[in-house]
Amino acid sequence: MSGFSEDMPFFDEPNARPTAPSGIAARAMAARSGHINAPDYLKGLNPEQRLAVETTEGPVLVLAGAGTGKTRVLTTRIAHILATGKAFPSQILAVTFTNKAAREMKTRIGHLVGEAVEGMPWLGTFHSIGVKLLRRHAELAGLRSDFTILDTDDVVRLIKQLIQAEGLDDKRWPAKQFAQMIDGWKNKGQGPADIAEGDARAFANGKGRELYKAYQARLQTLNACDFGDLLCHPIRIFRANPDVLKEYHKRFKYILVDEYQDTNTAQYMWLRLLAQRPDAGRASTSTDLRPAEGRKPDRASAGQAAPTEASERNSRTAVIDNKVNICCVGDDDQSIYGWRGAEIDNILRFDKDFPGATIIRLERNYRSTAHILGAASHLIAHNEGRFGKTLFTDRDEPEDGKVHVHAAWDSEEEARAVGETIEAYQRQKHNLNDMAILVRASFQMREFEDRFVTLGLNYRVIGGPRFYERLEIRDALAFFRVVAQGADDLAFERIVNVPKRGLGEATIRQIHDTARALRVPMLEAAAKLAESDELKPKPRAALREVSANFERWQKALETTPHTELAETILEESGYTDMWKNDRSVEAPGRLENLKELIRSMEEYESLRSFLEHVALVMDAEQNAELDAVNIMTLHSAKGLEFETVFLPGWEEGLFPHQRALDEGGRSGLEEERRLAYVGLTRAKKNLHLWFVSNRRIHGLWQSTIPSRFLDELPEAHVEVAESGNSYGGYGNSYGGGSFAPGRGGQGAGRQNPYGASRFDSVGGNNGGAEKSGAFSNTYATPGWQRAQANRTEATDRNWGSRSGHQVERIGYGETDSGYGAGRTSVKGRTIDGELVAKSVADKPSAFSVGDRVFHQKFGNGNISAIEGNKLTIDFDKAGQKRVLDGFVAAV
DNA sequence: CCGGTCTAAAGAACG
DNA sequence: TTTAGACCGG
């Protein structure tokens, strides 16, 4: 058992019996004696869910559509395995992607099974389980078991050093870019030797592979690894050490994977290694697969008497012990992380990877209204690469409204209208917490925030930078890291001159060189240098102090409680003082955060375990008390649900995003469509989509055309609504419905869905007149016409500020670009009839400085400057604006 | 070492 | 338009 240290008991099963509490065990036994009295935990499952829970043996793929009870199935399945005694908690490997999901599973299993979950050591994220494996077998990967986990920021800094060490220009070859490349390789499970020649050549004049190698070597000397290594190292260890792998084969009787559609190639390989059995599929009692000594093959069959169907299946299992009991749960239609390395193919070819797999579809949706489901299903049906599921619901309540599509003139009006609609809901006694605005790109948030601040409407931004990514937290952690792991050069470099001690670039360079020459960590090298006379007095004294500090702290590590030590470190290093003396607006907040950091340390037993959790699982807490509208990206909305959902920005170029189309082509478009599907299916009752005619992108006003996804919504489930403006008189419109009633779709314009849109004539003045005839369908209603007429005339109200307004930011320091005043309108553009539109490269403008031009929104003006196709124009009335040259005409 | 100035880039983000 | 990062001068 190489790699298992004494203090990490590994196959330490409780002797007596599975740890399911007696209550559950009793219920499980009752279940076995007949099907009439199913245990409580199975009650309330629909037939498909129940099948997914009870099909414990063999490979199973559960295709769980949005809102079909996926988590319930997963947790109940684990509870079922435990309750029926098929496995001990420690014999179940259950992986998720996020800490949140892992946490939720833990608590929900806890509710089902009682306290027994405490014994589920292998329920966690891919990464946390990866660390666990790697700590056990660190030496097989050339690491010590106290290795450090570097985050993205550390990695980039490290790579930058390497690039410079290679004598390369670090501006021409940005470290960030290379970090992403490495990440991509690791997502595919590729080491330096495995990467494609082309990839290796693409960076740093063909030095890509070398750099990658140097990077890995550097990590090893630092006794560190990056996130990707948490998967790749175990894979390599398993491959090179069959005996180690075999132990895990024996251990894990059941494997469960959440969100399987999001797995990347490395995760897939990792799972394959753990799931594969040397002679899988063949009934066998081969010695190497026998359970560990001192244990019966299967408690359930061995220990319980009644020969029921369940126990029979168990005894069969005991014979075919090498069968792969892997259950993957996911939804191919919600695969939205291809850009992060996820391989939707993993889920699509599950039955090829695991022959004889049972595929179970969960299509009964418990979340949304029939209209919402209808809209979402119809949209996603436009994708080709999918299993094909259709969500359905029994709900058919007359008061359920259709999906609302709104048009607005520009993004300001959009934010205004959404705000009004939210207030209207609020007057109907809806909680703000039950509402969410889901955007495609985070820069869209800005406009809503501005608006809500003006309105005094509480909101909360979810996502964004996390707690431990803040400057002060990262600094503090760097101190702790050096104390805990003296070889952590990156951390050392980060704080050696914090607060400023006069240790500039030159001194650090010198420490670096000394460390290299002596082959010791920088901390040690610094200590040596401080004693030598190679430095000038000033840096020498400073360095001496630093190394004395660390020496003292490292000694204290063994004797002092870690929270106390942490406080001492921050005090003695002068770090807290540094912020106390800082008079910037952020300083008090930073001090507060440091306090919070110390507070959160109390939950861990040692500095080391705390550091590991910080790297892997630390989230910013959010304030659920406050009633506030939720604002987040579509990506971070996956897995959530809200009573009322607003989806702004459904325009070509933004959604689907142009870059997704340019880089991903057809599959990029399909992923965008899945993202749209995710957005639609977040809504339980009310769903509002918005598109605008004008949006400012990177400071330039551009006209936009409605998203093709709008055209893909079925008319039967959609109605076009008047946009909220000052003419609407929204106050009491909900329930009564001032939205224009649709007439039932005739499907006009379906033949050429992407060439022209039935929204063309309403989204803006992009050639509406000539087109409207061809699209006289549902949307040619009086309400719609009115909305159009009003759209251009929308006026500002006198918005007063409300007292008690609160804003919460989860994370901080958003860096979104925003929109200012001024609007423009534009002539229409067409996109390719092909599904994938290409962006147009900047062409030099045909205009010259001084030309007199006309702009639909701003009127006449003179061009004062030209950059490529971007014009700066002094308008007679509207002042100076920057617009794209396609949007003006010569006068 | 600090602070002002210039430039380039600006999609989503898990651990 | 906004922003972070590099760059330069004091």
Q: Which residue is nearest to nucleotide C6 (CA to C1')?
A: A171
Closest C-alpha among A374, A401, A418 to residue A742: A401
In the set A13, A57, A151, A258, the catalytic residue is: A258
Query: Separation of CA A724 and C1' B3 in angstroms?
Result: 47
What whole-number distance in Å separates Cα of residue A737 and Cα of residue A598?
Answer: 53
Instruction: Strand B: list positions under 7 Å from protein Cβ.
Output: 1-2, 9-15
| Strand B reaches within 7 A of the A595 CB | no
Query: Separation of CA A671 and C1' C3 in angstroms?
Result: 29
The verdict on whether A71 is a catalytic residue reads: yes
DSSP secondary structure string for all residues of A150-199: P-HHHHHHHHHHHHHHTT--TTTS-HHHHHHHHHHHHHTT--TTTS-HHH
Closest C-alpha among A465, A436, A480 to residue A613: A480
Residues in chain A, overall count? 891
Query: Separation of CA A732 and C1' C2 in angstroms?
Result: 39
- The predicted structure's pLDDT at residue A111: 87
What whole-number distance in Å separates Cα of residue A106 and Cα of residue A109?
Answer: 5
pTM strictly above 0.75: yes
Joined tokens for residue A174: 């940005």
Check if the beta carbon of residue A784 is closer than 8 Å to that of residue A406.
no
| Strand B reaches within 7 A of the A635 CB | yes
- The predicted structure's pLDDT at residue A623: 72
| Strand C reaches within 7 A of the A171 CB | yes
Which nucleotide shows the minimum CA-to-C1' distance to residue A171?
C6
| Strand B reaches within 7 A of the A503 CB | yes
Instruction: Give the residue ranges of the annotated binding site of A for ATP.
Output: 64-71
Query: Separation of CA A582 and C1' B4 in angstroms?
Result: 20
Around A707, how many Cα atoms within 13 Å sit in the side-chain half-sphere? 29
Check if the beta carbon of residue A728 is closer than 8 Å to that of residue A738.
yes
- The predicted structure's pLDDT at residue A184: 93
Question: Of chain A residues 813-842, which have a beta carbon within 7 Å of strand C?
Answer: 813, 815-820
- The predicted structure's pLDDT at residue A856: 66
Which nucleotide shows the minimum CA-to-C1' distance to residue A813?
C3
| Strand C reaches within 7 A of the A174 CB | no
Q: Which residue is nearest to nucleotide B13 (CA to C1')?
A: A340
Joined tokens for residue A46: 């629909």
Query: Separation of CA A817 and C1' B6 in angstroms?
Result: 19
Joined tokens for residue A419: 């705000």
| Strand C reaches within 7 A of the A698 CB | yes
- Amino acid, res. A679: G
* Sign of the four-CA dihedral A672, A673, A678, A684: positive
Query: Separation of CA A870 and C1' C1 in angstroms?
Result: 14
The verdict on whether A177 is a catalytic residue reads: no
CB neighbours of A242 closer than 8 A, spacing ≥ 6?
none
Closest C-alpha among A285, A296, A418 to residue A728: A418
Check if the beta carbon of residue A157 is closer than 8 Å to that of residue A490.
yes
* Sign of the four-CA dihedral A316, A321, A324, A329: positive
- The predicted structure's pLDDT at residue A859: 77
User: Which strand (E) or helix (H) includes residue A873?
Assistant: strand A870-875
In the set A402, A682, A685, A708, the catalytic residue is: A682
Which nucleotide shows the minimum CA-to-C1' distance to residue A463?
B13
The verdict on whether A454 is a catalytic residue reads: no
CB neighbours of A802 closer than 8 A, spacing ≥ 6?
A455, A456, A457
Which nucleotide shows the minimum CA-to-C1' distance to residue A822?
C1
CB neighbours of A78 closer than 8 A, spacing ≥ 6?
A92, A94, A105, A109, A113, A120, A123, A256
User: Which strand (E) or helix (H) includes residue A575?
Assistant: helix A575-580
The verdict on whether A160 is a catalytic residue reads: no
The verdict on whether A857 is a catalytic residue reads: no
- The predicted structure's pLDDT at residue A214: 94
Query: Separation of CA A500 and C1' B2 in angstroms?
Result: 12
How many Cβ atoms from other residues are within 10 Å of residue A578's Cβ? 18
How many Cβ atoms from other residues are within 10 Å of residue A173's Cβ? 19
Backbone angles phi, psi at A633, to 5 degrees: -80, 160
Q: Estimate the crossing angle of helix A70-83 against helix A99-113, to 10 degrees.
A: 50
Closest C-alpha among A883, A846, A793 to residue A409: A793
Around A812, how many Cα atoms within 13 Å sit in the side-chain half-sphere? 13
Closest C-alpha among A470, A407, A452 to residue A649: A407
Backbone angle region of A804, left / alpha / beta, with phi > 0 → left and psi within -120 to 50 → alpha: left
The verdict on whether A276 is a catalytic residue reads: no
Report mean pLDDT in 10-residue bins for chain A, 891 residues.
Answer: 36 40 44 57 92 96 96 95 93 95 92 74 96 96 92 89 85 90 94 90 86 94 94 97 95 96 97 78 33 32 33 32 82 96 95 93 96 96 92 84 94 95 96 97 94 93 83 91 90 88 83 90 91 84 91 93 94 90 80 89 89 79 83 96 97 94 91 97 97 90 92 94 42 28 28 50 39 32 39 30 46 28 25 30 65 77 75 76 75 78
Q: Which residue is nearest to nucleotide C1 (CA to C1')?
A: A699
According to DSSP, residue A774 is labeled: G
